[in-house]
Each structure stands twice: as C-alpha cells, then as structure tokens.
Structure 1
Amino acid sequence: MAHAAAMGSLAIQSCPNSERSSSLLLHGKANPVLRLRQAAAGGGLRRTVNRRPSFSTRASAPTTKESVLKDFRERKALKIISGLQNFDKDKVASVVIAAEKGGATHVDIACEEELVKFALGLTSLPICVSSVDPLAFLSAVEAGAQMVEIGNYDSFYEMGIKFSSEQVLKLARDTKRILPSITLSVTVPHMLSLPDQVKLAELLEQEGVDIIQTEGGKYSSPSKPGILGLIEKATPTLAAAYSISRAVKIPVMCSSGLSAVTAPMALTAGAAGVGVGSAVNKLNDVVAMIAEVKTIAESLGLPTSSVSQRALK
C-alpha cells in the first residue's frame, strides 16, 4: 500500500517497559496507522450511520487559509476534537453539532474522506483532520478539509509508541511537500522534555508550519479533586504553551486536559486558542455536549447564542 510504503521508513521509538512495542516498530513491516485501520475494518470502530441527530445545520465552510487562521490571529480559537480513532458517524455528528451550536471556531475529526464529506453537511466551521500519515491527508483535503493536524498521538501512546523530534519534523516536511498550501498544525509530543518541546517548535516554525499544538493533560494524574485537580491536570500543557509561545511567532494552540476552568489560563499563558477533546466527546448526550462547549466558549469570552428548544428537537 502507498500509505504503508510512505510510513515504512519512519522508525517509531518504543515507550519504556512496553511488552508490545517491538512488534509495533516501523521497519516497513508494522505500521500503527494500518493497525488502527485494521481495527476499524474488524469492527472495533463503527463507520456506519444508524441514526443522525436532526439538528438544523449549515454546509458552506470557509476555504482560504486566512479564514481558517483568523481566530488564531485574534487569539480566540476554540477547536473541539472528536478523536483520531473516532470513525463512528453518530458520535462524530454529535461532536460536530456541539461545536457548531456551542460557539466553537473549529472542529477536528478523524482523517477519512467520507467522514469529512459527512461533517461538511453538518457545520460551517473549518474542519481539521488529524493523522500521522501525510498521504492520508490528500483525500480528506480533496473532500473539503481546510486544515490538517499531525498529532492526537494518544492512541499510539496506548500502544506503547512515542514520536521523536526527528520523526515529527519528517512528518511535517512530508506534509508540506504533499500539501504546500494547506493550513498545517503540528502537535509537539508532551513526552519530550520541555526544552526539547521548545526546540522542536522552533524547527517546525522554520519548516513553515502554521500552528503549534501542545498536549499533556491526559497523562497527568491530579492528586486533588475538584477545581484544584482540573488545574493540576492542565499544568503540563499550560507550561508547554507558556514556553513555546515565547519562542515562536506562529500561533500556539493549548490542548489536552483542558476545561472551562483552565481554558482561560491557556490564553493568559500565551496560547492563541485551545483544543478540547474528552471534556466534550466523552459525554453521551448531544445536548450536554453543546452545553459544555458553550461553557468553555463563554469562559474564553467568545460570542455564543442560546440554543433554542426547536434546534434541540
């Protein structure tokens, strides 16, 4: 396969103490991207629609890079993330609708052509697709995605795989070569030391990357409950946003482990926007998702409109 050939030369490092890591090294034989796709094909990830929330939607989305970056330049971007492995159209629909109705500025979905086409029928927000396979971006962009994200590494961490600075740089260069005009965001792995995260961000800026995204909250373990715990959980990604935003001129998006409590702190730390995933996509009810997005948007000072009862029917 073309994707496997493209990724085969990428030597992913195994995480310490992982018994499965050796079988996941990319030496042209094993590929974590293909492993995810095989899981999907085997039924681990649903790709069919059994029902769709009947919300009123818009389908005319911005297409220019400036329109995609506008909210970042104004330091008010809010990206809602459905998840790199989330191919369930019902769940993606709920997240996309929540982003649209709750006042977000962008939505991030898994990198799949049909999923992009589906999402375009639900929202006018710029659609970002996430992957670690540069060739996979091609069909998604052709389908209408306006932004691509190298990142959302959580699924790979869970398989015992981490990404080095060199590997992330290679992915960025390959993506820029394949899609030179697309808005490109790259996540800096939180498993790197903070000085190495800053250095990688500087190198990515030199490569022409448009946005740097930070991460870290998912794997921090708060020792306190309540608000103290929320702040503690967000500390790694806030620290990265603070340090990286002072080292680069391009926008920094603070993501991972954020909530309505900590999202405003990200802007204060220097971020141009925030990315929110599990605080929204782990909820089971679309109305609750909309309410959560709205709460986060209001915490950032973004304009939101009340969700009418008619829209929720």
Structure 2
Amino acid sequence: MTISSSIVDDFTDKIAIKVITGLNNFDIKKITKMTQAGEIAKATYMDIAADISIIHELQSNSTIPICVSAVSSKKLVQCQQAGAQILEIGNYDAFYEQGRLFSSKEIIEISKDTRNLSPRTALCVTIPHILCIEEQIQLAQDLKNIGVDIIQTEGRSTGFSKNGDLSGVIQKAASTCSSTYAISQNSNIPIISASGISALTTPISFLYGASCVGIGNNIRQLNNITSMVMYIYEVKTAIECNRNKKQNITHSIKTSNITLNSISSRVRV
C-alpha cells in the first residue's frame, strides 16, 4: 500500500482529519481555498473529486496529500496515476439526491475492479447509510477480505438543517457514529466517520472507534480561508481534549499556535 507516513501515523494515533471538498465540487477557487486552509491547519489530507486537472492544480500550490472520490474504478485509477495517494469509492450524497442508491453487491464489484487495477494504492470505501447495521457490518468485512484498507461511514446529515441547535448538531452525526461503533466492534479495519461531524461530535466518533473524521459541508459553507482554518483547528482541539492531554486548551484561535497574522501570511492570493 503506497501512502505517506504522515497519514499512517495519524490513523495509527487516531487523530486523523480529512477535509472533504465534495465529489461533485469542481469549483477550483473554492477547492483551492479549502486546500490552503487544510494545509495551514495541518489536516491529514484532502478528499477531492476525481479530476486530474484539479489534482495538478493542487499539486502546484500545496504539499498536502490528496485522496480522490468517485464511483468509477477507471476514474480513480487515472487519478492515482496523476498522483492521488488514496482512492475512495464514495461519497454518495449527490447520488442520493438523484434517487440513485448503491447495493452491497455493486459496491463490492466496484471495489474489486479498483483493487485489481491498482493493487498497491490505499483504497477507502464508503458504507451506505441506507443499509441496515447488519448489512453494513457484513459489507465492511467483505471489503476487508478483498483488500480494502479503510472504511468510511456516513449518515443522513443532508436531511437536517437545525443550524446552531445542539440537538440538531448531535442528530446530524448520530447515524455515522452509530455505524462507526457497530463496525469497529466487529472488525479491526480503520474507520473514517463522516457526515455532519463537528468539533462537538468529533470526540464521539473517536470514542466509538474511528481513526479519522471527515469534515466538509461545514467548511464549504465558510467564505474565507481564515474561517476555514479556525474551524479545522476547532476540530483538532476537540481531538486533543478527548485524548486528555495535560495542557490548557480552550476552543479559541487566540490560544493556539496559529494566529490570525500567521494565517494571513500563508494565504496565497
């Protein structure tokens, strides 16, 4: 499996964060902003649409590792050849909106094709939340048996809109956290919790067995790099607090090593 040591270390230590720009997001300006924020805030890696031109653009301005997401093994392998370190089958939100659902059988076939075409590249597969928990567990086990390296759980976050409401924030992450817990209890494959994850629910994900959290929609809604960096930092702070580090950490950019001036100095115009 070809993957950078920094990603392996973060997964091993269960502190990994990936920033998701979106499977159907081809807005290079927005993607570039999110990538700059991810690099400044020291996210583990970026998850972008499977598009070679976007990969080349990010590689010319950033050193942060890149993962590409798609449901086509051909697209994924083309992106691997262009420099993507992780291939991911998912994310499905855009397809759900079109009424397109994925069965376990279909996901296994795409996974087999991708693994056969690219046997040494790290492969992640998203488990559809539409499957019952028993099916999700079985699918995770089947995927591990065919050589999948990482599993990602998802939830029904697109169905909630209670911005700023505590119950809404928890509700957004409930499905993916539940799946994370169930799969982690029945398999030792590394798990990414994604869909509706925030600084509040990140500790729950790791407590339930995740090795990484995926954050995307909450960052995409922000307008500037500074705000994006601060949001990622909030998630990192939540992880540090959850690990019971003996230091005075508060959820404020003012107490971090990242200052507004240092962010501004690193933002590329």
Tell me whether 1:140 sits opposite 2:95 in the alignment: no
Q: CA deviation at 1:67?
A: 4.7
Contact 2:3–2:86 (Cα < 8 Å) also in 1: no
SS at match of 1:121: helix
5 Å-filtered alignment, 1:148-187, equals 148-187=87-126
Q: Does the 8 A contact of 2:86 with 2:121 survive in 1?
A: yes
Query: Matched residues, percent identical?
Result: 36
The correspondence of residues 1-313 of structure 1 with structure 2, limited to 5 A, is 64=3, 66-221=5-160, 226-301=165-240, 305-307=257-259, 308=262, 309-312=264-267
Q: Deviations over 1:58-82 (max 9, x none)?
A: xxxxx63655333112211100000
Shift of the 66–290 alpha-carbon distance from structure 1 to 2, 3 Å rule, reads closer
Gaps of 5+ in 1: 1-62
1:103, CA displacement in angstroms?
Answer: 2.4
Q: CA RMSD in A?
A: 2.0
Deviation at 1:300, TM superposition (A): 1.1
The 1-side partners of 2:148 and 2:258 are apart by 36
Amino acid in the other structure paired with 1:124 = T
Report if the CA contact (8 A) 1:222-1:230 is conserved: no
Where 2:125 maps in the other structure, the secondary structure is strand
Deviations 1:92-142 (A, max 9, x none): 101111111122111101101111111112332210000000000122111
Aligned pairs, how many?
A: 251
Considering only CA atoms, is the larger Rg found in Structure 1 or Structure 2? 1
Q: Distance in 2 between matches of 1:84 and 1:223?
A: 24
Q: Distance in 2 between matches of 1:198 and 1:310?
A: 46
**Could you list the per-position Cα deviations for residues 253-308 of structure 1 after superposition, in whole angstroms to 9, with x for gaps in the alignment?**
10001111001110001111100110111212222111111111111129974041
4+ aligned runs moved over 3 Å, structure 1: 63-68, 219-225, 302-305
Deviates more, 1:280-289 or 1:192-201: 280-289
Q: Quick check: which one's helix share is greater?
A: 2
Q: Equivalents in 2 of 1:294, 1:145: separation in Å?
A: 25
Q: Answer yes or no: is the 8 Å Cα contact 1:102–1:292 preserved in 2.
A: no
Unaligned runs of 5+ in 2: 246-255
Deviations 1:215-265 (A, max 9, x none): 004244377962222112110000000001111111011000111100111
**Structure 2 length normalisation: TM-score?**
0.88
Q: Using the alignment, how far apart are the partners of 1:288 and 1:231 within structure 2?
A: 22
